[in-house]
């Protein structure tokens, strides 16, 4: 892959990378279309990265569909699929990790120790291997995107990070490979994530500035669903991910949440603003 990327770059070809863990859904396909519009050579990486899964998480049962992914990739105009195995990404003796310290600590980082070190490390490797000028990431994994953007700046990595808005089902549920774990009734209840975010957003538009009240408005909607178990709902600065007490006019803040349905943990987020 590195040799291929070198050849392409020598010929002046612009490479875009869409890093994924496979089991592609319409959200991934939107990232691919965005990448396609920005490059000559579209590279899709498919790698279920073991170092970003904690003990007891769903590494072993993470959904895979290689044939389906290749078919979708072809239909989205992907030129190259990079699908390494774990052994070649992490050779015996592997010991180097990238840690984006403060951004990795709160929210999902607090519940999934080491997760963002795994993400930052594998993304660094994927960028070094595929050598794209452009890399596209979805905003559903908001903290992941914040970590990667910081990492790219801090390590002077020569790539443009493109963020793509959350793609949702018609009823508002954010697309995620993990949605397939939901039972029918959990799937129906899971719309409460989006509804909770909307409740907070609407309250913000009526002039409410108090972070605690905005968070409560969101939590109340989710708590009405007996199958939903809130992991966190928090209002944070959109760039630093530091806590905010008030939604000040012009401030960039994000309401981020994680909610369990049985063992399935879904995340979602929305930017809030005063109108
Ligand atoms: O968002 C994902 O699918 C993964 O975290 C990523 C960025 C491909 C790294 O393994």
Average pLDDT, stretch 173-192? 97
CA–centroid distance, 155 to ligand 1, in Å, is 19
List pLDDT tens digits, range 88-107: 999 999 999 999 999 999 99
Find the mean pLDDT for residues 207-213: 97
For ligand 1, the distance from its centroid to the CA atom of residue 137, given in whole angstroms, is 8
Using the atom order of ligand 1, give the atom closest to the CA of residue 119. 9
What is the Cα gyration radius of the chain? 19
Mutate to test the pocket of ligand 1, among 63, 141, 149 (most ligand atoms within 8 A of CB): 141
CB count in 10 Å sphere of residue 155: 13
pLDDT at residue 270 tops 80: yes
Query: What is the rounded CA–CA span in Å between residue 18 and residue 32?
Result: 6
Please report the pLDDT score of residue 275 as a whole number: 73
Confidence of residue 112 (pLDDT cuts 50, 70, 90): very high
Contacts of 130 (CB under 8 A, 6+ apart): 1, 5, 15, 17, 43, 45, 82
Q: Could you tell me the CA-to-CA distances from 173 to 116, 252, 255 in Å, in that order?
A: 24, 23, 16
Phi/psi for 13 (5° steps) reads: -80, 135
Q: Which atom of ligand 1 is nearest to the CA of 49?
A: 10
CA distance 49 to 5: 22
Question: 65-77: per-residue pLDDT in tens?
Answer: 999 999 999 999 9
Q: Is residue 28 among the annotated active site residues?
A: yes
Does the reported pTM lie above 0.85? yes
When the pLDDT of each residue in the chain is averaged and rounded to a whole number, the result is: 97
* Residue tagged 């809130």 (tokens): 230
**What is the rounded end-to-end Cα distance, in angstroms, of the chain?**
47
Instruction: Say how far apart CA 247 and CA 237 lie, in whole Å.
Output: 9
Which residue's CA is minimally distant from atom 8 of ligand 1? 20
Q: How are beta strands 253-261 and 264-272 bridged, if at all?
A: antiparallel
Sheet architecture: strand order including 264-272: 228-237, 253-261, 264-272
Span 226-247, pLDDT tens digits: 999 999 999 999 999 999 999 9
Question: Ligand 1 centroid to 7 CA: how many Å?
Answer: 26
Q: State mean pLDDT over 40-55.
A: 98
Q: Are the beta carbons of 26 and 16 closer than 8 angstroms?
A: no
Ligand 1, closest atom to CA 177? 3
**Which of 17, 18, 21 to mutate to test ligand 1, by most ligand atoms within 8 A of the CB atom?**
21
pLDDT of residue 124: 99
**Helices 115-130 and 142-154: crossing angle, nearest 10°?**
60
CB 43 within 8 A of CB 79: yes
Active-site position among 25, 28, 102, 205? 28
Among protein residues, the one with the nearest Cα to ligand 1's atom 6 is: 20
Tell me which residues have their CB closer than 6 angstroms to ligand 1: 19-21, 49, 52, 119, 122-123, 141, 144
Q: Given the CA of residue 45, which atom of ligand 1 is nearest to it? A: 8
């Amino acid at each position: 892959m590195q040799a291929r990327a070198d050849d392409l770059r020598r010929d002046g070809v612009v490479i875009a990378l869409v890093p994924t863990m496979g089991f592609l859904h319409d959200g991934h396909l939107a990232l691919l279309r965005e990448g396609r519009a920005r490059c000559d050579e579209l590279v899709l990486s498919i790698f279920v990265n073991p170092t970003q899964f904690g003990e007891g998480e769903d590494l072993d049962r993470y959904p895979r569909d290689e044939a389906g992914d290749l078919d979708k990739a072809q239909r989205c105009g992907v030129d190259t699929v990079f699908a390494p195995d774990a052994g070649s990404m992490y050779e015996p003796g592997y010991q180097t990790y990238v840690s984006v310290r403060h951004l990795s600590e709160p929210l999902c980082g607090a519940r999934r120790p080491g997760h963002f070190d795994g993400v930052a490390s594998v993304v660094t490797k994927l960028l070094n291997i595929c050598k794209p000028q452009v890399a596209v990431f979805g905003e559903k994994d908001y903290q992941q995107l914040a970590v990667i953007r910081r990492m790219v700046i801090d390590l002077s990595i020569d790539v443009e990070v493109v963020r793509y808005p959350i793609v949702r089902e018609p009823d508002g549920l954010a697309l995620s490979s993990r949605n397939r774990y939901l039972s029918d009734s959990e799937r129906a209840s899971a719309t409460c994530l989006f509804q909770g975010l909307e409740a907070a957003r609407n309250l913000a538009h009526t002039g409410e500035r108090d972070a605690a009240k905005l968070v409560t408005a969101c939590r109340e909607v989710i708590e009405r669903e007996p199958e939903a178990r809130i992991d966190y709902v928090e209002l944070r600065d959109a760039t630093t991910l530091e806590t905010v007490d008030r939604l000040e006019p012009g401030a960039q803040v994000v309401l981020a949440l994680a909610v369990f349905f049985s063992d399935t943990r879904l995340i979602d987020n929305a930017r809030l603003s005063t109108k």
